[in-house]
A and B are shown apart, each in its own frame.
Chain A
Amino acid sequence: MGEFEVHRVRFFGLVPAGVRCLACTPRGGRLALARTDGTVEIYNFAANYFQEKVIPGHEVRSVESLCWAAGERLFGAGLSGDITEYDLLGLRAERPVDGCGGPIWSMAANSSGTQLAIGCEDGSVKLFQVVPGGIQFERNLDRRKGRILCLSWHPSDTHIAAGSIDALRVLDVSSGQTVQRIMVNYHVQKVKRECVVWGIAFLSRGTVVTADSFGRVQFWDWQRGTLSESHTISTSAALSLAVSEEENSIIVGTSTGATYQLQLLPVKMGSQETRWVRTKPFQHHTHDVRAVAHSPTALISGGLDAQLVIRPLMEKVQRKGYDAALRKFTFPHRRLVSCARKARLLLFQFSQHLELWRLGSTNETGKDGEVLPLCRMPEHLVQLKSKGPEHIYCSCVSPCGSWVAYSTASRFHLYRVQHEGDSVSVRKVPKVPKVLPPAYQLQFSSDSDSLFVASAQGSVHVLQLLEPGGCKHLHTLRPPSGSPEAVYLLAPSADGQWLAAVGGDWAIHIYNLKGFKHHCAVPTYSCAVTALAIHPLTNNLVIAYSDQQLFEFSIPKKQYTAWSRMVQNCGLHKVWLERDSPITHITFNPKSPSHILLHDIYMFCILDKSLPLPDNSALLMNQSTLKQLPETARQRQLHAFKICKKFQPLLFADLLDNNCLVMVERPIMDIKTQLPLPIQQKKFGT
């Protein structure tokens, strides 16, 4: 395998934004997630919980509530007072509709998905019709004093329950009147705080469930206006509430990061009388859990510590095994770092700026595991701030390090970077071709001569870079049968002849750049592509899917290679298939043609195609045992997967020249110390 000098980079100061809202599609196939900076992400449960779509945020746009309506249309509303529909094909937020009620705190769709109700700052509940082009204002329901923080429709769509400060109201939809108003205060003399109802749900049997800021979950009989049950589940506030479809299980998220499940259980075995009981406490988060969702088989919670936790319920999962494992997602499932190999530069993508760093260097060598002293420290060369309030979609640096490109929702920017000795100067390229923004992925060719821009409708634009600092649009590549979805991954070949592009429909198209023609399409697979790369010598396309499968497709021959067929016949190792995070980057070593280097968040792997594949009985992560064995025994136990778990959590890993690896890590504790304050935990003895 050889020895590598590893540049261990920890100066990427990424702090992901906290999770603010969650919304499951009614049939539980997809999850929409909104963060505090306005980013909206879609997770596909069937594709191994892969983050298939990301719509970057906006400085002004805040999302307080998300909901699915009319099938697969996603709507969001926030404190700016607008209702925005998200275009999931074009990955952008469409023109917002003003709610005319001040900041919108909550939004809910009725069971058929045809109407949206919003709860506003001025205390009014407004109804909107979901029409094919967008939404249309229908009417105002009764308005009372007190901001409406949460809303819930009755499953029959006849009533709406609205929670505000110190009170909850039930409104009749057809007449618009308030039919019941219940006070929710906390009756203790000492406490002078107001009781804020953070979460509300309307059950079909006429019970209204509320979660309030005193940590109580209360069940109200709305017609009589009485309290049926009250559970104090926490000393801090209960911030979010979600009910399952069968209405026998509720998940509640609190301010301390704990989530609780309440279940409707019979009082005695076989008796008809049921009662709500707090069954399972979970402590998956360290910060406030402001969003929870209940899918048919799992409890989902998102906290301000930027983690999304999916906890499958044992009794609901059909296939025991890895399906029942807890999934925790902190980092995005795409690359935020690009590397200029020859110039040894790294480009970090933040939400509103880019940072260009030069790696340090060392003159010494050492043995396995030694830390070498640096003779030149890593330097922060350039910080490029994106102009305007929009967040950055994608960015890239050319392999020679002299071009930097990035795209926001409305503009595309290209910069020329000149290296004069040790210092660096950046100049903007003035006239950039009018490609339809946004660009979903940018990739420079390996000779830094052209730039590939992934665009909507499955098309890829090829731009030619002219020397002193200019750019010309050469061609637009389109798939033969057209595609409504946008391209999200690109892979150019090293000789500049081929380009592979993957769209949102998971179809991989390969284009011949010499004639700008479509060459072939890889056979469709049932899962999303997470990474792809073309081998520099053999022009084989290596594809990693989100269910951890690996394929190798020969581009000149238009078929899967023999090695790929062997892998599919033998199957991959069980431990390999049970990994949590997808592979985000594949690269190759020009000096060893049979090596493939891949990484995901928790491991870095060198795949040697010339060695045999391990079967399920062998140990997959056997590097440490191999080191201790003598040479002869080692030969017997060698297999193709050489996995290193020393560098975690890994955001990016690449091979520079001359046996140098660069690993960009982001320790979780560095993120957690920069988040908003958590609630104090009193522990005995400290």
Chain B
Amino acid sequence: MARRRQRVAAALGTPVSSSEDEDEAAPEEVAFGVAKEAAETERKLAGEAARRHRELLKEKRRRRQELFTEQKKRKLLPEAVLQELAAAPPARADGQAAAAKPGKGCGAGAVKQKQGSAQRLVKKDKGRKGSRAKGNYAAVRLKDQNVTALHQQLAKDFLNTQLYGPDTNRVQANDFFSLENKKNPVKKAAVQFVDKSWGEEKKERATRFKKRWLSTQMKTCL
């Protein structure tokens, strides 16, 4: 309450009287117009602050929405290609340039969507159709396959799942053979306490460096 009065007084330019005789003195005379203006400016300020706040939120929301749509577009193939696929597949012309980089085209396609010319899009979808089949399956000629090898592989897989499959209670060799070491009266380290494959690359590089170093030493000595 006191602060408000001080503010109003500051807006009006009148000095603030001390608080001692506040309660006994009569309320100050404030002109109606001045008070009205003060209230209006205050309202305006508050309104502007709220508007700015709302606009900020709106801006944020808009940006997020754009980001989502862009991500979604990046996941899907470009529009033109989807349209082409939805329609009957037309005769295949070659699209060399785009076929060379189909994966890159997908990501760049979303960005270039807005600028994309019809030519570029056409090139891309021709290329994309050819490469659509990659990755999911492989086509082989049955004549080349050895039927007995296939049967043998199936049989071996059956045996493997029965003996070493998920339900069997298999454990690593280190754990199995170290049980005795753990249970002995004199406890010993595990059987494969040090794994020889640790730092293999480093050791190989070290031996090669050593050989080279020694040979240079021999050269300088001789």
Q: Which A residues form the contact surface with B (CB < 8 A)?
A: 62, 79-81, 102-103, 105, 121, 147, 193, 196, 213, 236-237, 255, 286, 288, 669, 672-681, 683, 685-686
Contacts and interface: CB of A to CB of B under 8 A. Distances in A.
Nearest to B156: A79
A102 B164 CA distance: 23
B168 A236 contact: yes
Contacts of B176: 286, 678, 680-681
Given A81-B151, A121-B151, A683 B164 contact: no
Interface residues of B, number: 26
Contact of B177 (A103, A105, A672, A676): A672
B206 interface: no
Contacts of A686: 179, 182-183
Contacts of B154: 121
A679 B152 contact: no
A121 B155 contact: yes
Contacts of B192: 673
13 contacts: A81-B148, A103-B152, A121-B154, A121-B155, A236-B169, A669-B177, A669-B191, A673-B177, A677-B173, A678-B171, A678-B176, A680-B169, A686-B179
B148 A80 contact: yes
Interface in B149-201: 151-152, 154-156, 158, 162-164, 167-177, 179, 182-183, 191-192
Majority secondary structure, A binding face = loop
B23 to A, nearest CB: 84
A186 to B, nearest CB: 12
Contacts of A213: 162
A676 B148 CA distance: 25
Contacts of B155: 79, 102-103, 105, 121, 147
B178 to A, nearest CB: 9
Nearest to A288: B163
Given A79-B152, A255-B163, A673 B168 contact: no
Contacts of B170: 677-680
B148 to A, nearest CB: 6
Nearest to B178: A686
A676 B168 contact: no
Contacts of B148: 80-81
Contact of B168 (A81, A672, A679, A685): A679
B170 to A, nearest CB: 4
A681 B192 CA distance: 18
Contacts of A105: 155
Contacts of A678: 170-171, 173, 176
A676 B152 contact: no
B166 to A, nearest CB: 10
Contact of B151 (A62, A102, A673, A681): A102
A675 B179 contact: no
A121 B152 CA distance: 10
Contacts of B163: 237, 255, 288
Nearest to A192: B167
B218 to A, nearest CB: 13
B183 A683 contact: yes
Contacts of A102: 151, 155
A102 B158 CA distance: 14
Interface in B191-220: 191-192
A673 B182 CA distance: 17
Nearest to A198: B162
Contact of A683 (B158, B174, B179): B179
Contact of B164 (A674, A675, A677): A677
A62 B148 CA distance: 13
B171 A679 contact: yes
Nearest to B180: A683
A546 to B, nearest CB: 32
A679 B169 contact: yes
A79 B148 CA distance: 9
B143 to A, nearest CB: 19
Contacts of B173: 672-675, 677-678
B183 A193 contact: no
B191 A673 contact: yes
Contacts of A79: 151-152, 155-156
A123 B175 CA distance: 39
Nearest to A62: B152
B171 A680 contact: yes
A102 B152 CA distance: 8
A2 B173 CA distance: 42
Interface in B114-161: 148, 151-152, 154-156, 158
A193 B167 contact: yes
A677 B169 CA distance: 10
A286 B178 CA distance: 13
Given A288-B163, A683-B183, A686-B179, A677 B152 contact: no
Contacts of B174: 673
A675 B172 CA distance: 10
A281 B87 CA distance: 73
A679 B165 CA distance: 12
